[in-house]
């Protein structure tokens, strides 16, 4: 029986799954599709009467079994699938695209007779310029289709209004850098399965907030390893609130508005928790704590001028990496991977490998940019050259091999999990993480404002 409508966009998993000769079949499940999240127009301070009103005035979206009633909450269609690199085994391909048959309609984003693509807002009528750039020669990756230009334009418009007006994260003199980041194209490429622009904005705010913290506390705009731990801890309380006494809570809450990083974290997290379940929110907080721990390790090495062993550097990069981004793929997709499935060791390995591979890809694309910055900036090619006595070119090409090994390990682990646990929610989440990995590479490749490749070929 044919699948009732397209599944979320995917790229690398079917090809990887073809290497495992299993005969899995999609299982029916009591899964549900969540409608458009109830999002606030502006977050309130997390204390006092205003906080109480905020926490109850807009209820979280309720699950809607079997799809949205009346079509009002119907998701827009996914925007095409990225190219696969091999012909998958038919049984595995069936697992990767999900179940079919009676009772499975609610597991998909839309069905053809209900789909209603949203018209772009008037401000989103002019698409951004075509993407440029070339991939790193020899880097294992999967091409993706150009992101939907109407969505890119609308997300770009909304996120700039949020960053500049709502949280005052960027002064006018940084506007060109904000535009050059191309975060709208980035998030639309990474989340082609997002049901609505509101869902895309959840990821986009968090991405911008994380970069504001990185820039202002760690790197480009006044960042320093000196005192970083105290700054990061207080910023983290914008994600994971402090529970203290009535006397001291107001003083803490006021600090959440004291600088751009904390304002950005606080606001982005408020929007996120309105759309996420408590389990999803706690998962994200945990991954952000991992990220901040990685920041601190790198800062400690910078303070002591220590160049880590390659194995130590790779351990640090498992924490200071993109992991918080793919871990929210189900929230942005409008559904939930239950906590017991997300916590499986096999799933944790997949997510860790996805973060590790994409972070090494970042090391490679940002290599020349970081060499031009003052001081010694640690990245994998620099560490390999220093610790293994290789030339810059040899070290860079070896780092490409490390990335490729991580990508193959990610795809193999994801395919094995899809076969061993063919729960449609697991498969859907794995597909979303794989698409995020490919979209992340696409953004690095095409963002010639930020990145250019070394002359090693």
* pLDDT 10s digits, 229-251: 999 999 999 999 999 999 999 99
The residue ranking higher by pLDDT, 311 or 3, is 311
Q: State if pTM tops 0.85.
A: no
Query: Checking phi first, is residue 148 left (phi over 0); if not, alpha (psi -120 to 50) or beta?
Result: beta
| pLDDT grade for 220, boundaries at 50, 70 and 90 | low
pLDDT at 72: 31
* pLDDT 10s digits, 280-324: 999 999 999 999 999 999 999 999 999 999 999 999 999 999 999
171-177 contact pairs (CB < 8 A, 24+): 174/221
pLDDT at 248: 97
CA 226 to chain centre: 28
- Kindly report which listed range (17-31, 89-103, 198-212) carries the lowest average pLDDT score: 17-31
Confidence check: pLDDT of 337 > 50: yes
Asked if 415 contacts 16 with a C-beta cutoff of 8 angstroms, the reply is: yes
Neighbour count for residue 64 (Cβ, 10 Å): 15
The dihedral built from the CA positions of residue 351, 357, 363 and 366, taken in this order, carries a sign that is negative
Neighbour count for residue 221 (Cβ, 10 Å): 15
Asked if 240 contacts 231 with a C-beta cutoff of 8 angstroms, the reply is: no
In the numeric block, which tokens belong to residue 253? Answer: 């809450």
In the numeric block, which tokens belong to residue 154? Answer: 């609308």
pLDDT at 203: 98
In the numeric block, which tokens belong to residue 340? Answer: 């017991």
Q: How many whole angstroms separate alpha carbon 236 and alpha carbon 294?
A: 14
* pLDDT 10s digits, 168-195: 998 888 888 899 999 999 999 999 999 9
Q: How many whole angstroms separate alpha carbon 266 and alpha carbon 244?
A: 18
* pLDDT 10s digits, 97-138: 443 333 333 333 333 223 333 444 444 434 445 467 899 999
Confidence check: pLDDT of 157 > 80: yes
pLDDT at 90: 43
* 406-429: average pLDDT: 97
pLDDT at 44: 45
* pLDDT 10s digits, 338-350: 999 999 999 999 9
* pLDDT 10s digits, 340-376: 999 999 999 999 999 999 999 999 999 999 988 777 7
The residue ranking higher by pLDDT, 123 or 267, is 267
In whole angstroms, how far apart are CA 127 and each of 51, 78, 148, 215, 336?
A: 39, 19, 9, 28, 32
CA 285 to chain centre: 14
The dihedral built from the CA positions of residue 207, 213, 216 and 218, taken in this order, carries a sign that is negative
pLDDT at 171: 84
pLDDT at 237: 97
Q: How many whole angstroms separate alpha carbon 332 and alpha carbon 384?
A: 36
Residue whose C-alpha is closest to residue 135's, from 379, 453, 437, 455: 453
Q: Is 349 exposed, middle or buried (0-12, 13-18, 19+ CB in 10 A)?
A: middle
Asked if 357 contacts 407 with a C-beta cutoff of 8 angstroms, the reply is: yes
In the numeric block, which tokens belong to residue 305? Answer: 């001028």
* 220-233: average pLDDT: 82
In whole angstroms, how far apart are CA 9 and each of 12, 81, 282?
A: 10, 4, 27
Neighbour count for residue 449 (Cβ, 10 Å): 14
The residue ranking higher by pLDDT, 156 or 15, is 156
pLDDT at 383: 98
pLDDT at 20: 34
- Kindly report which listed range (33-42, 149-158, 386-395) carries the lowest average pLDDT score: 33-42
Asked if 228 contacts 213 with a C-beta cutoff of 8 angstroms, the reply is: no
What contacts 380, CB < 8 A, 6 or more positions away? Answer: 310, 313, 314, 317, 360, 363, 364, 399, 402
pLDDT at 131: 60
Mean pLDDT for all residues in the chain: 79
Neighbour count for residue 317 (Cβ, 10 Å): 23
pLDDT at 225: 86
pLDDT at 222: 62
Confidence check: pLDDT of 29 > 60: no
User: Which run of H or of E encompasses 132?
Assistant: none
Confidence check: pLDDT of 41 > 70: no
In the numeric block, which tokens belong to residue 17? Answer: 């799954």
* pLDDT 10s digits, 51-87: 433 333 333 333 322 333 233 333 343 333 333 344 4
In the numeric block, which tokens belong to residue 377? Answer: 């900036």
Percent share of the chain, pLDDT over 70: 70
Using the CB atoms, write b or e for 180-207: b if 16+ within 10 Å: ebbbbbbbbbbbbbbbbbbbbbbbbbbb
């Amino acid at each position: 029986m044919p699948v009732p409508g397209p599944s979320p966009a995917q790229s690398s998993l079917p090809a990887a799954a073809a290497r495992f000769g299993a005969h899995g079949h999609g299982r029916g499940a009591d899964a549900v599709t969540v409608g458009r999240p109830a999002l606030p127009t502006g977050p309130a301070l997390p204390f006092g009467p205003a906080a109480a009103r905020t926490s109850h005035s807009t209820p979280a979206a309720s699950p809607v079994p079997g799809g949205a009633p009346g079509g009002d909450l119907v998701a827009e269609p996914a925007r095409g699938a990225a190219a696969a690199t091999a012909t998958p085994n038919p049984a595995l391909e069936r697992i990767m695209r999900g179940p079919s048959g009676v009772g499975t309609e609610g597991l998909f984003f839309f069905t053809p007779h209900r789909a209603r693509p949203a018209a772009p807002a008037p401000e989103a009528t002019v698409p951004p310029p075509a993407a440029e750039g070339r991939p790193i020669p020899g880097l294992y990756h999967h091409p993706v289709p150009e992101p939907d230009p109407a969505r890119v334009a609308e997300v770009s418009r909304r996120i700039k209004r949020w960053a500049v007006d709502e949280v005052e994260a960027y002064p006018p003199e940084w506007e060109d850098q904000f535009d050059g980041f191309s975060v709208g194209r980035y998030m639309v490429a990474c989340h082609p399965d997002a049901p609505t622009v509101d869902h895309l904005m959840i990821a986009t705010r968090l991405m911008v907030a994380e970069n504001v913290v990185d820039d202002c506390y760690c790197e480009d705009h006044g960042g320093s390893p000196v005192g970083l731990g105290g700054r990061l801890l207080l910023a983290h309380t914008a994600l994971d609130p402090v529970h203290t006494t009535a006397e001291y809570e107001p003083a803490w809450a006021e600090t959440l508005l004291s600088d751009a990083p904390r304002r950005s974290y606080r606001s982005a997290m408020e929007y996120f928790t309105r759309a996420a379940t408590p389990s999803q929110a706690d998962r994200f907080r945990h991954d952000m704590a991992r990220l901040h721990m990685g920041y601190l390790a790198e800062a400690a090495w910078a303070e002591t001028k220590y160049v880590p062993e390659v194995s130590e550097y790779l351990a640090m990069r498992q924490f200071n990496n993109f992991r918080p981004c793919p871990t929210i793929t189900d929230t942005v997709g409008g559904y939930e991977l239950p906590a017991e499935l997300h916590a499986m060791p096999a799933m944790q390995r997949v997510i860790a490998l996805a973060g590790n591979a994409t972070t090494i890809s970042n090391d490679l694309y940002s290599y020349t940019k970081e060499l031009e910055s003052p001081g010694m900036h640690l990245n994998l090619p620099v560490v390999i050259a220093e610790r293994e006595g290789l030339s810059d070119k040899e070290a860079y090409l070896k780092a490409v091999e490390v990335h490729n090994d991580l990508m193959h390990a990610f795809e193999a682990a994801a395919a094995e999990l899809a076969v061993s646990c063919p729960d449609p929610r697991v498969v859907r989440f794995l597909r979303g993480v794989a698409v995020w990995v490919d979209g992340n590479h696409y953004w690095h490749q095409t963002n010639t404002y930020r990145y250019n490749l070394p002359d090693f070929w």
